[in-house]
Amino acid sequence: MEREGRLTKRCCFGLLLHWSRAYAGFAIVVGAFLPEGTAHATSVLIPSNFAHDSASSSSTTAPAPAAAMDIARSFHMNDGENATSYAKNSALQKGIIGMTNHITMELLKDLYMKTESEKMVIADLGCSSGPNSLSVVRDMVKTVADTCRENKPMPEFLIFLNDLPSNDFNSLFKSLPDFYTQMMGTPLILSIAACPGSFYGRLFPTQFLNFVYSSNSLHWLSKARLNDEKGNSINKGNIHIAGNSPKQVAEAYTDQFREDFPKFLMLRAEEIVVGGRMVLIFNGRAGPDHFDRGFSLLWSLLSQSLIIMASQGDVDIEKLDSFDAHYYGPCKNEVEEEVKKQRSFELDRFEVIESNIGVNNCIAVSNGIRAIQENLIREHFGGNINIDKLFELFRNLLIEEAKKEAIKTVHFIVALRRKEM
Ligand SMILES: C[S@@+](CC[C@H](N)C(=O)[O-])C[C@H]1O[C@@H](n2cnc3c(N)ncnc32)[C@H](O)[C@@H]1O
């Protein structure tokens, strides 16, 4: 109860903006950022999903070590706009969005041509802060606007930007004036709202969304459960699946994916209208082998960096044993199998693209991983951990590896259509 109460307050900083010809420019119609604890709901649903996530973790997990983290509360990218922020270190994700954008826009255009609806309700799941989410929203709106010019009247847009509640929504919404400037000359009615909550819980009303988009987010699991029945780590010395991990480690990750991904599909199936589309872009593995260079190497290098820190007394080795990345890149078959089993969606398209980590982008990769992991690492190892040193070690190890051979990472673009059941 108390947990839900706190959550209700946290979720009240939703904001709804309207911009249209009728308002002669743009104007804030509802809301502004409300301080935590202000009881005022605007456009945002109060998700019950925190309770679900936490309940499932306590009922199905072996006793977790004291330091186990509540991902839904603690996981967030580095906020703000400074040198170590996600906003300034998400060029690689931007590159992946760029490589896949033509598919996203093609599917959105196709959906719009087929829909009777005068409204387009779109959600970006795992939007984070920084420029990437709004740049995709801008392309979506422009794509529909260009299609309308030739064919149909312009729909009204309702866009929901979703992420975990500790995401820096404030920075994201502060960049809206720039977004509106870029949209000048496109007459439209557009509302943008925050929807804080885990996408492994219910986020939206039934049959509400026309189009769901998610980039670079769905490889994050709801949790990593790598403890035996006594609560001890089964993956000592590693933070992910490594070459020397016992086979139970890969099995535990696979099981978590088999629990999370169908749940995600089932929840979205309730929220998306029949015929609605979903474009999911996330990291995968090249084949069935769980330890592959593109998928697991980065985590192994981060483990090694932490081990070096531990050997120099900078990190408590036991804390390293209980730190596990809640990250999983499935292989193509695993995704196809779960979509088939879940049955609510038709698989319209499945594309696989590769990107390369070479010596020239090791610094960007290292800074990018820092922007994603810093908060969790600080929370787990203590705020005093020397993060600059950790990522200097990591960067140097990464450069050594990239010198041997470029590291190929694999990305999936999965396009799904909600079936009529
Ligand atoms: C690497 S960022 C990607 C941001 C943006 N979509 C992009 O492509 O640049 C991944 C985002 O997914 C969010 N995320 C991870 N698990 C989530 C969950 N269960 N529910 C909602 N968001 C989640 C993280 O908080 C983070 O902001």
C-alpha radius of gyration, the chain, whole number: 21
Helices 91-114 and 362-381, axial angle in degrees (round to 10): 90
Residue 225 lies in a domain: yes
- For the residues 124-131, what does the mean pLDDT come to? 96
Q: Which atom of ligand 1 is nearest to the CA of 97?
A: 8
Domain membership flag for residue 312: no
Within a domain: 371: no
In angstroms, rounded to a whole number, what is the distance separating the alpha carbons of residues 138 and 121? 14
Q: How confident is the model at residue 172 (pLDDT cuts 50, 70, 90)?
A: very high
| pTM for this entry | 0.86
Domain that holds residue 98: 2-285+325-354+409-418
Q: Is 173 exposed, middle or buried (0-12, 13-18, 19+ CB in 10 A)?
A: buried
Q: How confident is the model at residue 72 (pLDDT cuts 50, 70, 90)?
A: confident
pLDDT digits (tens, 9 = 90+) for 88-117: 999 999 999 999 999 999 999 999 998 888
pLDDT, residue 280, reads 98
- β 190-196/156-163 pair status: parallel
Number of domains into which the chain is organized: 1
Q: Does residue 276 lie within any of the structural domains? A: yes
Q: Which pLDDT score, from 0 to 100, does residue 71 have?
A: 84
Span 273-298, pLDDT tens digits? 999 999 999 999 998 888 877 778 99
pLDDT of 384 = 87
pLDDT classification of 299: cutoffs 50, 70, 90: very high
What is the position in ligand 1's atom list of the atom closest to the CA of 124? 6
> Which secondary structure element, helix H or strand E, spans residue 101, and what is its range?
helix 91-114
H or E stretch including 417? Answer: strand 407-418
Cα–Cα distance list, 144 to 99, 155, 256, 305 (Å): 20, 8, 37, 47
Residue 271 has a CB neighbour count (10 Å cut-off) of: 20
Whether residue 398 is contained in a domain is answered as: no
Residue 129's CB is within 10 A of a number of other CB atoms, namely: 27
Cα–Cα distance between 410 and 282 in angstroms, integer?
9
Pocket test for ligand 1, best of 93, 164, 372, 373 (most atoms within 8 A of CB): 164
Q: What is the pLDDT of residues 195-232, one digit of tens each?
A: 999 999 999 999 999 999 999 999 999 999 888 888 88
For residue 383, what pLDDT is reported? 77
Strands 407-418 and 345-357: antiparallel
Among all chains, which residue has been given the structure tokens 């896949």?
Answer: 100
Give residue-wise pLDDT tens across range 132-144. Answer: 999 999 999 999 9
3-state secondary structure of 374: helix
- How far apart are the CA of 67 and the centre of ligand 1, in A? 23
Q: What does the pLDDT read at residue 206?
A: 97
Please determine, for residue 306, whether its predicted confidence score (pLDDT) is greater than 50: yes
Instruction: Tell which one of 44, 70, 75, 217 to mutate to probe ligand 1, the residue whose CB is within 8 A of the most ligand atoms.
Output: 217
Neighbour count for residue 1 (Cβ, 10 Å): 6
Q: Does 388 fall in a domain?
A: no
Q: What is the CATH classification number for the domain harbouring 100? A: 3.40.50.150
> Contact at 8 Å (CB) between 132 and 97?
yes
Q: Is residue 384 part of a domain?
A: no
- Residues 6+ away with beta carbon under 8 Å from 198: 47, 49, 50, 53, 72, 164, 222
What percentage of the chain has pLDDT greater than the value 90? Answer: 64
Q: Ligand 1 — pocket residues by CB below 6 A?
A: 75-77, 90, 93, 97, 126-128, 132-133, 162-164, 167, 198-200, 215-217, 220, 222, 372
The b/e string for 328-341 (b: 16+ C-beta within 10 A; e otherwise) is bbbbbebbeebbee
Mean pLDDT of 243-271: 95
How many Å apart are CA 418 and CA 420, to the nearest integer?
7
pLDDT at 336 over 90: yes
pLDDT at 51 over 90: no
Q: What is the pLDDT of residue 41?
A: 29
- Least Cα distance to 293 among 256, 241, 364, 338 occurs for 241
CA of 3 to the centre of ligand 1 (A): 23
**What is the reported pLDDT for 149?**
72
Q: Residue 53 pLDDT more than 70?
A: no
What is the reported pLDDT for 68? 57
Whether 347 is covered by a domain: the verdict is yes
